[in-house]
Structure 1
Amino acid sequence: MYLSLSILPFSLQYAQDSLKVQTISQTFEQQNSQTKKPFFQKEWVKMSIAPTLLFSASAATWGERKNIREIRNRYIPTFKVGYDNYLQYAPAATVYGLKLAGVKGRNNIGRATLSYAASIGIMAVIVNSLKYTAKVERPDGSSKNSFPSGHTSMAFTNASFLHKEYGVVSPGYSIGGYGAAAITGLGRNLNNRHWISDVLAGAGIGILSSELGYFFIDRIYKNKGDNLGMLADLESNGNPSFLSLKVGSALSTTNFLKESELTDKKEVGFEAGIEGAYFFSKKWGIGGDFSFSSFPINPTRFPLDDDIGSFDITTQSLGFLNFGAGPYFSHEISDNLNLVLKATAGYSSGASGKIFVKSEIFDLPTDEFQVAEYKPSSNFRWNTGAALTYKFNPELGVTLYGDYNQTQSRISYHFSDVIQNDQSMSDNLNNDSSHEKIKYISLGLKLTAYF
């Protein structure tokens, strides 16, 4: 979940750029201003797409931020690495390193510095105004200035600075900058310093601040950049290479825990991740995906008698970290519609979980106690799917996708001392395992950036 959520901003890298590489003659600008542009080609729309999506994602996750944090606490509760304190500045340092090395970008160093200073100033005002007005407590309880994430805002302002100055030279600069910013935001989550909604809002503020900073400075200079004329011939090869963030539902076609007898129902879960492909031609490419899938498990109820009642066996959700790579095929249906088919093979790694017995007869604070732990084995995984993308513009689109996934796993159970100390239960249960088939269909949406 974190991977998928932390990598969302960098999959939006082209949505925020408010211009295409073009000559900047006055005649062309006058002619262009007289032509009515499609809605998604309008400058203010292109400036606002990425921030709007990120602010919407922040609002959508606000009510679930504590539940999302529990995923972090389950898998890496003691994580503490301070790389995010330094990585946030890497994209800006890259800009000045390139300029001092003589690499031409959008602007000369003086104008670039002025645009950067305007962006930082706008970002600082927005972030500090919200921090000390909202007064949201941090997840670690250290202070009440959690919303929004200042580190993430700084990281995405710096990433946008790199994108603005050198994204017109090569998309690799944009990918690297937003990748560093996304990893910074992820670090704020993993270090338990911010809620997921803080990070998403911070990313949106960073991008918006850079857009506004460049907007105002460009108006002063009355053009879009010092060096755009000489960079006008740098164009994409036109192949449909892409990066995308995906979020969807995972619908099981089999009962994952049939052999374990922990549930008699098929699970409905979710998946999130990042996917991308590089196309060598208009039709064929190679790509892969990195995703997290989780399947909640319904409690199993065992009735006792009328006086005692019943007890439930509750199992933590099954979680899998998935990786796959393989061939991708693309077909352009129209200028705005693109179909992609794929077949990948890779690896699926299962996360360990706990099993509890819960009943009102237990004199415990939560009416439950742990009876076992389980661990799914890692195994081969294959995947096939189709995706249909509607392009807002040549750089950004929204994708409807459907995938079929299949793997298998041997789930091993280790029972608690309570079970092991009972001879009859220990003989029947301890060190037990079951072989489960994992098959599911995933349906959802992707935000797709082309490069």
Structure 2
Amino acid sequence: MRFLCLFIALGTSVFSGSVYAATIDTLDINENLSMIQKVQRTSAYQITKQGVPLLFASALATTIDKRIQETRQANMSSFSYHFDDYLQYAPMAAMFGMKLAGVKGRSNWGEMMTADVFSAALMAGVVNGLKYTVKRDRPNHSKNNSFPSGHTATAFMAATMLYKEYKDLSPWVGIGAYSAATLVAAGRMMNNRHWLSDVLAGAGIGIMSTEVGYILSDLIFRKKPVFDLLDDDVSYSRIPSFIEYSIGYSSLFPRKISLNGKELTSYQGLNTTISAAYYRQNGWGINLQATIQSAKLTQGEGIAGATSFSIGPGYTYRVIPRIFLNSKLEVGYCQLLYNQDVLHKGISGTAATSLLAQISPAMGFRLYLEYVYTSLPYFETNKRLNYLNTGLAISALF
């Protein structure tokens, strides 16, 4: 009986301590969340949350700029289309068109024009100041004002204007705006006018300029700032769909190949991808992806690579607020390329996993790792081409 009483007393004590500890832990978590939310409501956070990661990515991209340009030269050296000259203004034109049509947005005409003038002036000042200070040579050697990309800065400035004004109207406003801006950035590289680091820096400058412009406008008109926040109950737990652009490294297998009687080795290459996916809130979804990857061959034998177009199911799991783990399987059509010539056609299978960090309701960064097996015969080795890709993606979320 004494033992039973002692056991009950001890159990009660432990249970009480557990409840107390759990209460303290909950209070600590709530306090930490409150601190995070306070930081999110500061002007400094709103200005830097998207721009700074892009500037950091720009600094990292300088190490692979030339290799990306070599990949462009090998796969699309004759590409020359000037859609980026006009598309950079498309989000701004859409914003003014909607305002003229009477569609209610975040601001009235005076507030919007003030924000836009501040944004454009700041963007132009920073971009031109850097262009004529850094004096970086363009990939096509036409001028020495490559860094940063003015077209990309304008496009992302305009996209952020449209998003801030009409983001509550539909998630497709942000998707359309930032997809157009991303296409401008890709166009600048495809037209051999800018390096990757140029367009990443331009994107960061364009976004931050607009954030500053709207904060200044709110101060002038004594308007309470409208912060772009993730709601604890909805956006933190919502499984995001996305459209994204990625760049990374590729390792081709087998590394040793036979070509025209020569024994060659393929170096580590690059991969670039445009992909889209739609996910339901139960975590299951469908993925669509177009990929180009290439690698140099030894002894000056040119560049080998592959293109693929694939589709397949995927599953996304929310690890913690704003962090999502994704896995997917895809099958598709692929081609073996050698110095722009298509040597073989076949099918591919892709298994991939990735980690998405959601930095705003409409934007995120993804780290990915994928393995691709193809039916392509790798030159004269009688083995199948396969490769391992890893890299970083910039995601427009919806």
Check whether TM > 0.5: yes
Could you state the TM-score of these two structures normalised by the residue count of structure 1? 0.70
| 1:207 maps to 2:207 | yes
CA distance, structure 2, for counterparts of residue 252 and residue 342 of structure 1: 21
Q: Distance in 2 between matches of 1:87 and 1:143?
A: 22
* Distance in 2 between residues matched to 1:138 and 1:255, nearest whole Å: 33
Partner AA of 1:409 in structure 2: L
Measured on the aligned residues, the alpha-carbon RMSD in Å equals 3.3
> How far apart are residue 120 of structure 1 and its match?
0.6
Partner of 1:41: 40
Task: Report which stretch shifted further, 385-394 or 147-156.
Answer: 385-394
Aligned residue for 1:81?
81
Tell me which amino acid in the other structure corresponds to 2:98: L
**Residue 341, structure 1, aligned to residue 340, structure 2:** no
Q: How does 1:258-297 map to 2 (within 5 A)?
A: 262-263=262-263, 268-297=268-297
Q: What amino acid sits opposite 1:53 in the alignment?
A: P
Task: Give the counterpart letter for 2:318 in structure 1.
Answer: E
1:97 Cα deviation from its structure 2 partner? 0.9
* Counterpart mapping for 1:117-132 below 5 A: 117-132=117-132
Q: Aligned runs of 1:44-443 on 2, under 5 Å?
A: 44-62=44-62, 64-224=64-224, 238-255=238-255, 257=257, 262-263=262-263, 268-297=268-297, 299=298, 313-353=299-339, 375-391=342-358, 398-410=365-377, 436-443=383-390
Tell me the residue number matched to 2:8.
none
Matched residues in 2 for 1:390 and 1:155: separation? Answer: 23
Taking a change above 3 Å as real, the CA distance of residues 389 and 239 of structure 1, as seen in their structure-2 partners, is: closer
After superposition, the Cα gap between the structure-2 partners of 1:40 and 1:438, relative to the gap in structure 1 and judged at 3 Å, is farther
SS of residue matched to 1:277: strand
Report if the CA contact (8 A) 1:277-1:286 is conserved. yes
Q: Identify if the C-alpha distance between structure 1 residues 59 and 404 changes in structure 2 by more than 3 Å, giving closer, same or farther.
A: closer
Equivalent-residue separation in structure 1 for 2:245 and 2:175 (angstroms) = 14
Change (3 A) 1:123 1:339: closer
Look up the match of 1:307.
Answer: none
CA displacement 1:379-404 (0-9 Å, x = unmatched):
21111222344555666555443322
Structure 1 CA distance for aligned equivalents of residues 248 and 257 of structure 2: 22
**1:85-115, Cα deviation, whole Å (9 max, x unpaired):** 2111111110011112222221223321221
For residues 205 and 178 of structure 1, what CA distance do their matches in structure 2 show?
Answer: 14
Alpha-carbon shift at residue 175 of structure 1 (Å): 1.6
CA separation in 2, counterparts of 1:77 and 1:248?
20
SS in 2 for 1:81: coil
Cα deviation for residue 405 of structure 1 reads 1.1
**Offset at 1:163?**
1.2
Report deviation, 1:252.
4.1
- Counterparts in 2 of 1:393 and 1:163: CA distance versus 1, 3 Å: closer
Q: Secondary structure at the match of 1:104?
A: coil
Contact 2:119 2:214 in 1 (8 A): yes
| Matched position secondary structure for 1:315 | coil
Partner of 2:18: none
Q: Residues 86 and 63 (structure 1 numbering): CA distance in 2 closer, same or farther, change over 3 Å?
A: same
Relative to 1, partners in 2 of residues 1:66 and 1:111: Cα closer, same or farther, differing over 3 Å?
A: same
Q: Percent identity?
A: 34
Q: Distance in 2 between matches of 1:448 and 1:183?
A: 13
CA contact (8 A) 1:149 1:194 kept: yes
Distance between the aligned counterparts of 2:153 and 2:209, measured in 1? 9
Q: Gapped runs of 5+ residues in structure 1?
A: 1-33, 300-312, 355-373, 413-432
> Would the aligned equivalents of 2:258 and 2:381 in 1 still touch at CA under 8 Å?
no
For residue 449 of structure 1, report the CA deviation from its aligned partner: 4.9
Question: Structure 2: any 5+ residue segments left out of the alignment?
Answer: 1-32
User: Is residue 283–residue 329 contact of structure 1 (8 Å, CA) maintained in 2?
Assistant: yes
Contact 2:156 2:178 in 1 (8 A): yes
Cα 1:443–1:51 shift into 2, 3 Å: same
Counterpart contact for 1:189–1:196, Cα < 8 Å: yes
Distance 1:405 1:41 in 2: 39
